[in-house]
Chain A
């Protein structure tokens, strides 16, 4: 296994891990309670 596999394989694991873990939590207050949100129901 070369550096290419180690570096980019690590990126896959970290990126996917971040998605699977942090994706379960609600966004921060700054994101949820702002006025300029996209009005998805209107679109």
Chain B
């Protein structure tokens, strides 16, 4: 299979955020009126709104956990957040015109889950949450500067590599999840041995590089004058990646701390 054929075959699958239809219907950008077009500032503002919404609900479950000290007190919110977040993410991906409504709801739902998960990690390893948040936002800032300055230049091959790796990780997690129902699991995913930590580092790197794809998608869409609702969609894409990156960093730090 030639390189071109591989791109055609695999480049259009994988990460649903970047699936074929994500950009195609906007081939009529030029027909959109200027005031209704996507801007970089608008996308950044909307990402800020989503982060605040996520923080609000995360604080809610965080406080419940530390007030009661009982994981069962937050497990309901946690599952509502996880399942609700998944449903809202799927709706946003397939109906991106609705992103102005579904993306804020997604951020609220994910906040419920993140607050509970973070509180449980914090109770076990004090100080770990601020470390994970610092590393997540530090990575966001550094990669944005690297992208804007042209230090990192995403190409079709880069995209193919990241989408393939992301798909592989998702498949591995899915298999591990299903195996969990039968009392088994893929050991190295959760182990705190060198291989487990190496795997976590790899996943963190792939999650971080997904941010570069998000930046490029947003930059290109704004450059082409995409419809304004794609500001919400771009902000949603960034949120999905940031939440994944945060959780993977949290897991990596927990593995490192559990070795002590």
Binding site for B on A (CB under 8 A): 2, 4-5, 7-12, 14-20, 22-32, 34, 36-43
A43-B11, A43-B12 known, 9 other contacts, Cβ within 8 Å: A2-B127, A10-B134, A11-B135, A19-B44, A23-B44, A24-B41, A25-B40, A30-B149, A37-B155
Q: Pick the contact of B155: A15, A26, A36 (CB < 8 A).
A: A36
Contact A4:B23 (CB < 8 A) given known A38-B159, A43-B18: no
Specify the main secondary structure of chain A where it touches its partner: helix
- B243 beta carbon closer than 8 Å to chain A: no
Instruction: Say yes or no: B153 contacts A23, CB within 8 Å.
Output: no
User: In whole angstroms, what is the CA distance A2 to B131 when docked?
Assistant: 12
CB-based nearest B residue for A3: B127
Residues of chain B touching chain A, judged by Cβ–Cβ distance below 8 Å, are 11-12, 18-20, 22-24, 26-27, 40-41, 43-44, 47-48, 51, 127, 130-131, 133-142, 144-145, 147-150, 153-156, 158-159, 213, 215-217, 219-224
**By the criterion CB–CB under 8 Å, are B220 and A18 in contact?**
no
Chain A nearest CB, measured from B151 CB (Å): 9
A29 to B24, CA, bound (A): 25
Contact flag A34-B153 (CB < 8 Å), given A15-B141, A19-B140? yes
A-B contact list, 23 entries, CB within 8 Å: A4-B131, A10-B134, A12-B138, A14-B141, A16-B140, A17-B141, A19-B137, A22-B145, A22-B148, A23-B144, A24-B41, A24-B44, A26-B40, A26-B223, A27-B150, A27-B219, A28-B150, A34-B153, A38-B154, A40-B220, A41-B23, A43-B11, A43-B12
> How many Å lie between the Cα of A2 and that of B126 in the bound state?
12
Nearest A-chain residue to B150, judged by Cβ: A30
